[in-house]
Structures are given as structure tokens and as C-alpha cells.
Amino acid sequence: MSVADLSGRIPNNVNLKDDKRLLRALESWQPKYIDWWMEMGPDGFQADQIYLRTAISVDRDGWAQFGHVKMPEYRWGIFLADREDGRKIPCGDHYGKDAWQDVPGEHRNALRRMIVTQGDTEPASVEQQRRLGQTAPSLYDLRNLFQVNVEEGRHLWAMVYLLHSYFGRDGREEAEDLLVRRSGNADKPRILTTFNDPCEDWLSFFMFTTFTDRDGKFQLHALAESGFDPLSRTCRFMLTEESHHMFVGETGIQRVVKRCAEVMNKVGPEPDRVRAEGAIDLPTIQKYLNMWYTSSLDLFGGEKSSNAASYFAEGLKGRFMESKYDDHVCVDGHYDMTVVQDDRLVQEQIPLRIAMNEILRDGYVSDCENTVERWNKVLEREGREERLYLPNRRFNRRVGEYANIRFDPQGNLISEHEWTSKRDQWLPTTADFAYVKSLMHPVVEPGKIASWIAPPQKGINNQPFEFEYVRK
């Protein structure tokens, strides 16, 4: 078991104090990180005491220490899952050889690029969520937002650690640039699509943490199967934090749906009447789901990808739970893919390696299906007939095979004209955004909650809902 050193400026379990060069590099990055956090992190609340969980070691109990802290004083540390003795490269052409403890020269660029792309999403999400604290529906939710934000900050640290330790000067430059790009900025945007989309209300926040953080789960699992062992160990520890983010999203939407169902039981399903009661109507919830789910599907990259094929072939990135597969080399197999040819949908056989993005996306889609099923259980328990659903993966895509082709939510090809006439039934309109925005008023009294969401079933760390999760 690795030993955590909590005494220095940067808590870690990677023996930082014995590597003076690395320690100096990270200590010189740290004030720039804090500047970024103060400028682009949660707006307001930086002087408040937040009831946060802090990672202090990687063993089962140690990484979840709770206490009130001011966010800028949160101890962002560097924690890697413990090294597995004799770990082998789990996939691709080098399958079964010893995993790399250092970066192989020929894979340097590809690895750096993946680590930078991963790292870029973390501060991007904090930027996207920057103003949400001002309209939190309860102190419990406010605290959860900040927990997610500080952990995304820690995920950035995790990637910066890899850049600084293994990529020399290039790595240090990339680490600086991670603090320079800005979500949604036309001149210096974040790298991936969804991370430049505005996330300006709490319905979006809960959809984002459900669907976009879940891309994080799948990508981190795939990177945890990397032959580059330090990346694998870093991602394995990040995954322990990721599950809380998805919990925040899934239970958040569950509570929005519960409130909606209760109101429908009182006044009927008519959206205007649901809205008159201060709840969010189910069609609006569905439209937000459609928007964030399809945007997050794009984060897996193109359905056919030579990048993905070479990442897999070189053993840089595996599949979700690679060990559950029989064939780890994948030179022979095929994947049946639906593609568009001459304005028709046809089946095409794609070499497995080229389909690696789509294979990862398959696992993601089925995970999302389970989530929506759990949301539908809420409707069922409330005695409602209505149901939420996932749109087909071809719907509303900006990246890959189906980008810029019109499909309905069932995945049928449709004309531009049909798209234009039905778009507002499928995706949020300006009026929907405005309505949701009109509900976003801060509720900051302990134990109180906004009209559009049900209270959680229990508090955080066995505290009651009424607990003062955030205090001056």
C-alpha cells in the first residue's frame, strides 16, 4: 500500500518530496491554478465554509474525509491507485508484455494528446458551472455542486501531474495551456464540443452530471486499460470520485421528475398547468435529456476512427473492462454498423479496431438506458403512465457518421423540412430555457427547497437534509 504524505503543500501518494524537480514544477504551477480557480471557479462562495469530502489517501476509508472547508483551501492532491505487481499491457499489438512505467518515445505524442484532452474537460466543466451556485435549489445541492467542482479541479491536477512528470518541457507547456483555454470562448475554446456548451440552469447541471460525467466514467475506464501504467493508476483513482458526480446528476433528475409527477397527480399532465405550480413539465425534462445526451454521445468521437484503432493497437487505450473480453488483439473481428449511403440507412461491416469508439459508446448507451429506467420507476411509483426515453444515437449529432444529417429521435432519416417543423418538440426552445431560468432562484435556508425539485431521500455522510452544508 502506498503511503500518503499530507504534510507538504501538495498532498500526494507519489513520493513528491523525493523528486525535487517535479515538486518545484508543480509548486510553480499551483499559484496559477489558484488564480484560475479564483477567476473561473465558483462565482461567490469562495470565502464560505463548505462541507466537503477530501481525498487524503487511496485506501477504502481514507479518501473520504468530511469537514467544512473554504474552497480555495481545499487540499487538491495527487493520488494514484496502488501499483499492481507485474501488470501487463491489456490490449493491442503489445498485449501481454510488461506495462510501461515510462512513456515510450514512439507513443509520446499520442499519449500527451489524450492526457491533454482528458485534462481539458476538467477545468472546462468548472467554468461551465461557474454561476450555478447563485441559484441553487437548496444548501444540500449547493454543496454537491461544489463537491463536483473541487473534484474536477483535482482531476485537472491528476493530468497535470502526468504532464509534469513524464513529458518534460512540452508537458509543462501543456499544463499552462490547460489554464488558458476557456469554455465557450471563441478565440481559445476548450477542446471537445460539449465542454463549450452553456450550462446555465440546474436542470442542465443535473443532465450534464448524468450524461457528460458518464462519458468521463467510460473514457476513464478505457484509459485505465492503458499500457502506460501511471495513466492507468491515475484514472483508476479518479473513477472513485466520478461515481459521486453521476449520483448527483441521476438523483437530481430523479427529484425533478418526482416533483413533476406529484404536480401532475394534482393538476393533470398539461405542461402549462404543471408550470403554473412552479414545477418543470415532463416534455421540457425530455427535451433537456435529448440535448445533453446527444451532445455527450459526440464525446466518444467518430464511429469509424483510425485514431481509436491506433490507440487500441498501440495499447494506449483499451475498452471498458478490457479483461471481460476474450480477444484483446482484435485484428480479425468485425462490427456491424448502421451508416448512411445514398440517403438510406444500410449495414456495414467495420474492422473491430476502427469501431473502438462505437464499442465504448455502446456500453455508455446501455448505462444511460439503466439510468432512464430508474427515472421511469419514479413515474411508475407515483402512478403515472408517462415515461422518459433515450433518443436514438443518430439523433441531433454534431460529430461522426451521423453529424449534420437529419434524424428523428427514433433514428429515422427525415427531411430538412420535417426537422424544422418538429425541432421544437424535440429540443429545448428559447421559451423552455426562459421558463427553466425563471425558476432559478437561490434557496439558502437550511432545510428549505425550491418549488421545482423534491428534497433528497437522505443527506450527505449521514447528515440530515437540514444540515448547514454551506455556511458563512
- Contact 114/232 with Cβ under 8 angstroms? no
Number of helices (H) and strands (E), helices first, in the chain?
13, 5
203 vs 182: CA distance, rounded Å = 22
336 membership: H or E segment, kind and range: strand 334-341
Residue 52 phi, psi (nearest 5) = -115, 155
Residues 328-357 binding ligand BYC (CB under 6 A) are: 357
The answer to whether the beta carbons of residues 197 and 204 sit under 8 Å apart is: no
Rounded least distance, CB 406 to ligand BYC, Å = 19
Q: How far is the CB of 366 from ligand BYC (least distance, A)?
A: 18
Bridge partners (DSSP) listed for residue 351: 334
Single residue of 305, 391, 397, 449 touching ligand BYC by CB under 6 A: 305
- Regarding 216 and contact with ligand BYC (CB under 6 A), the answer is yes
The one segment of 59-67, 213-221, 250-258, 460-468 that binds Fe ion by CB under 5 A: 213-221
361 belongs to the binding site for Fe ion (CB under 5 A): no
The binder of Fe ion chosen from 245, 259, 328, 384 (CB under 5 A): 245
For ligand BYC, the closer of residues 350 and 439 by Cβ is: 350
- What is the residue whose three cell numbers read 427535451? 287
> Which three three-digit cell numbers place residue 264?
401532475
Residue type, 267: V
Among 299, 350, 359, 453, binds ligand BYC (CB under 6 A): 299
- 207-232 exposure pattern, b = at least 16 Cβ within 10 A, e = fewer: bbbbbbbbbbbbbbbbbbbbbbbbbb
> 193 contacts which partner out of Fe ion, ligand BYC, none, CB within 5 to 8 A by kind?
ligand BYC
Segment near Fe ion (CB under 5 A), from 12-20, 241-249, 283-291, 317-325? 241-249
Q: Select from 53, 154, 155, 214 the one that contacts Fe ion (CB under 5 A).
A: 155
212 binds, among Fe ion, ligand BYC, none (CB under 5 to 8 A by kind): ligand BYC
DSSP 127-192: HHTTTGGGG-SSHHHHHHHHHHHHHHHHHHHHHHHHHHHHSHHHHHHHHHHTTT--TT-SSS--SS
The verdict on 216 binding Fe ion (CB under 5 A) reads yes
Min separation Cβ 246 and Fe ion, Å: 8
Q: 242-275: string of b/e by CB count within 10 Å (b at 16+)?
A: bebbbebbbbbbbbbbbbbbebbeeeebebeebb
Site residues for ligand BYC, 126-145, by CB under 6 A, read: none
Q: Which does 26 bind (CB under 5 to 8 A by kind): ligand BYC, Fe ion, none?
A: none
Name the residue type at position 292: W
The pattern of x and - marking residues 83 through 102 that bind ligand BYC according to CB under 6 A reads --------------------
Site string for ligand BYC, 157-196 (x = CB under 6 A): -----------------------------------xx---
Query: Cβ 5 to ligand BYC, closest distance in Å?
Result: 26
Q: Which amino acid is at 251?
A: T
> Residues interacting with Fe ion, by CB under 5 A?
122, 152, 155, 213, 216, 245
Residues that bind ligand BYC (CB under 6 A): 114, 117-118, 121-122, 125, 152, 192-193, 212-213, 215-216, 219, 298-302, 305, 307-308, 317, 357, 399
